[in-house]
Amino acid sequence: MLFALKSGFGWLSTVPVGISMEGVEALMKHVYVFPVVGLVLGALLGAVAYIAALALPPNLAAVVVILAIYKLCGINHIDGLADFGDGVVAHGTLEKKVQAMKDVSLGTGGAVFIVVLLLATFAVVSDTSKALLPLALLAAEVSAKESMIAFAAFSRSLQKGFGQIMIERTGPKQFIIGLIFSAAVCIAALGPLGLAMLGIAQLAALYMVVVAKRNFGGATGDGIGATNEVCRLVALAAALALGGVLPWTLW
């Protein structure tokens, strides 16, 4: 379990813990540790947001938060979003869409997906209150990591690779274990609002499963990475939209 958790940081972040095929094997057996990694990453991002909000105006603080996200979490997942976007917007058969997704060059679809995601993240983060943002980032990162499990658990593998390993070894059991932990964390952080963030992110993950099946006939590692990016944004947007409606302070 500890080896899997260590490998989770190597897989999901830029923390220099290293990762090996043995580590990947251990991680895939205990894929439900993804939200645990998300908890640590989210706490670090929340700390950055708290400090940035004290020293900077909201717009500049949002830029710092976005930079921190990709410094800490790396760009592998947003690269997956770019490839996923290229495949989704490609015209033609499923085979042509898969080829567009596998193309190493960045296409127009991928570029648009990235720009829209970054602009939306900036808008959401800059508009979220100083008090809510640190905990919202924590809950959003946990929700995003659980969303990756949801995508893998309810998808069919399309091609060989690390994505195939995760998809084939992740099922409803792993999803439920991760969901229970994620729900406990989100409730502890933000009460009903945290639970709503998690639930909405899981719905977004299931929608990503449908999009992948419709466009490619199955799922790949790019879809897993894209789900992480999309569901983090969706969870943060839910915090902003529902923060004034649902209670979120525990004191």
- For residue range 40-74, list pLDDT tens digits in order: 999 999 999 999 999 999 999 999 999 999 999 99
Dist. CA 16–CA 18, nearest whole Å: 6
**Average confidence (pLDDT) over 196-221:** 95
Q: With 0-12 CB in 10 A as exposed, 13-18 as middle and 19+ as buried, what is 76?
A: middle
> Quick one: pLDDT at residue 105?
82
> Quick one: pLDDT at residue 141?
97
> Quick one: pLDDT at residue 250?
61
> Quick one: pLDDT at residue 161?
67
Fill in the amino acid letter for 128: T
Contact (Cβ atoms closer than 8 angstroms) between residue 234 and residue 90: no
Dist. CA 72–CA 66, nearest whole Å: 10
Residue 37 or residue 22, greater confidence:
37
Specify the pTM. 0.93
Asked if residue 184 has pLDDT above 70, the reply is yes
> Quick one: pLDDT at residue 27?
86
Dist. CA 190–CA 192, nearest whole Å: 6
Residues 134-148 pLDDT 10s: 999 999 999 999 999
> Quick one: pLDDT at residue 132?
95
> Quick one: pLDDT at residue 81?
95
> Quick one: pLDDT at residue 11?
86
Residue 106 or residue 115, greater confidence:
115
Share of the chain above pLDDT 90, in %: 69
> Quick one: pLDDT at residue 29?
87
Contact (Cβ atoms closer than 8 angstroms) between residue 200 and residue 231: no
Contact (Cβ atoms closer than 8 angstroms) between residue 251 and residue 189: no
Asked if residue 9 has pLDDT above 70, the reply is yes
Asked if residue 6 has pLDDT above 70, the reply is yes
> Quick one: pLDDT at residue 18?
77
Residues 149-179 pLDDT 10s: 999 999 988 776 667 788 888 999 999 999 9
Please give the mean pLDDT across all residues of the chain: 92
The encoded tokens of residue 233 equal: 């944004």
Asked if residue 248 has pLDDT above 90, the reply is no
Q: How confident is the model at residue 21 (pLDDT cuts 50, 70, 90)?
A: confident
> Quick one: pLDDT at residue 249?
67
Domain boundaries, the chain: 2-242
Q: How confident is the model at residue 131 (pLDDT cuts 50, 70, 90)?
A: very high
